Structure 1
Amino acid sequence: MDELQEEPRPARVMASADVDDRAEIGAGTTVWHLAQVREEARLGRNCVIGRGAYVGPGVRLGDNVKMQNYALAYEPATLGDGVFLGPAAVLTNDTYPRAVTPEGRLKTGEDWEAVGVVIRDGAAIGARAVCVAPVTVGRWALVAAGAVVVSDVPDFALVVGVPARRVGWVGRAGVRLVAKGDGRFVCPSTGAEYVESDGQLTEVWTGLDPLGPA
């Protein structure tokens, strides 16, 4: 007999949260106190939107995303599955930020074009880090707390500082990889294996296969 499939729990939205009726909230997602989710935003399943976090109009979140307290994702940001935004992390959207036009008139939406930050699956953005649009943070990359990202981040890269620069590689567990020579790296936590070529890192074994590498 087939095993019974557990039905996903409904989304939960705290009474003090501000969620627009036109936003889409996936099953199992929780939106905590004082968070704001704007119109046309789409949140996947089993996400956690922390206290005071902000999800801008039309922003897209995949499944299992965690936005910690006061994290800000401005439109048109796109976050893949399993993305982590630390407390007070910011994804910007204005290349030339100004409150007013050169003539001194208050800017409106017609006076500028929003540009977005893309965060690929599994990547993590540390507390108070800022990603200055338009940039892409690659799969499973790790942006250190307080870093300012102004250029694209490769998959599995560990970046720190202002401006952010790569200082190493991390695996899916977020642990810094250990070099084994000849461009090969291993995760000390999971045993996963990687190879570096032309400034890019590729998995050769995820460490999830109980039979080990081929």
Structure 2
Amino acid sequence: MSAATENRQVPQFACVADDVRMGQRVRLASYVNLYGCEIGDDTRLGAFVEVQRDAKIGRRCKISSHSFVCSGVTIEDEVFIGHGVIFINDRYPRATTTDGAPQTEDDWKMEHTVVRKGASIGSGAIVMCGVEIGAGALVGAGAMVVRDVPAGSIVAGHPARLRGPAVESKARESQ
């Protein structure tokens, strides 16, 4: 048994590579695909979620079904990711080089993305590479995030624009 699956319940149709570092009490749905990544304690991953090499997901997160977390993405603790959220790590994707040869890892530049503690990203959002989503921020469903999102704010739209403070921030102000 691999270090990734030792003492953990891995669904029959989940693909968990030997190089995955998984915390305690991680819950995986069927058809997840994990390789070379890190998943923190008490995190839940829905069906058809893929987490690529060198991605990091913190503790007590929920990653809903059909989401894609690519290399270069760091998701801190207590983050919610809705259904079908897509992260992008290459600003200028191409299949081939200028001379027509297939691209290799040396032919592109991965850009890192960070989702800070307690942020939430709504279903169907697309997160462009090289951005930071601040702590406690809320990204609306279907948003296209192309620039940094301030901590405690709400963004929505295509491209995502600032709509105001997050609901939790408003609740705290009234106390």
Do the structures match in fold with TM over 0.5?
Answer: yes
For 2:115 and 2:8, locate their aligned partners in 1 and report how far apart those are by CA, in whole Å.
23
Give unmatched runs, 5+ long, in structure 1. 1-9, 178-185, 195-206, 208-214
Q: After the TM superposition, which residues 57-206 of structure 1 pair with which residues of structure 2 at under 5 Å, given as runs?
A: 57-172=53-168, 186-187=170-171, 192-193=172-173
What is the CA deviation profile of residues 49-83 of structure 1, one whole-angstrom value per residue up to 9, with x for unaligned ones? 11000111011111011110011110110001011
In structure 1, how many angstroms separate the alpha carbons of the residues matched to 2:101 and 2:40?
Answer: 39
Give the corresponding residue for 1:53. Answer: 49
Aligned to 2:28: 31
How far is 1:171 from its partner?
Answer: 4.0
Indicate yes or no: 2:17 matched with 1:15: no
Q: Which runs of 5+ in 2 are unaligned?
A: 1-6
TM-score by length of 1: 0.76
1:124-165 Cα deviation digits (max 9, x unpaired): 111110110010000010100110000000001100111100
Q: Tell me the distance in 2 between the aligned counterparts of 1:11 and 1:65.
A: 17
SS of equivalent residue, structure 1 residue 110:
helix
Give TM-score, length-normalised by structure 2.
0.92
Stretch of structure 1 that moved more, 115-124 or 105-114? 105-114
Provide the identity percentage: 31
Query: In terms of Rg, which structure is larger?
Result: 1
1:92/1:116 contact within 8 Å kept: no
**RMSD between superposed Cα atoms in Å:** 1.4
Please give the per-residue CA displacement for 1:68-109, whole angstroms capped at 9, x wherever unaligned. Answer: 001111011000101111111011100111111112211111
Give the structure with the higher percent helix.
2
SS at match of 2:96: coil
Q: Following the alignment from structure 2 to structure 1, what is the Cα–Cα distance between the partners of residues 166 and 42?
A: 25
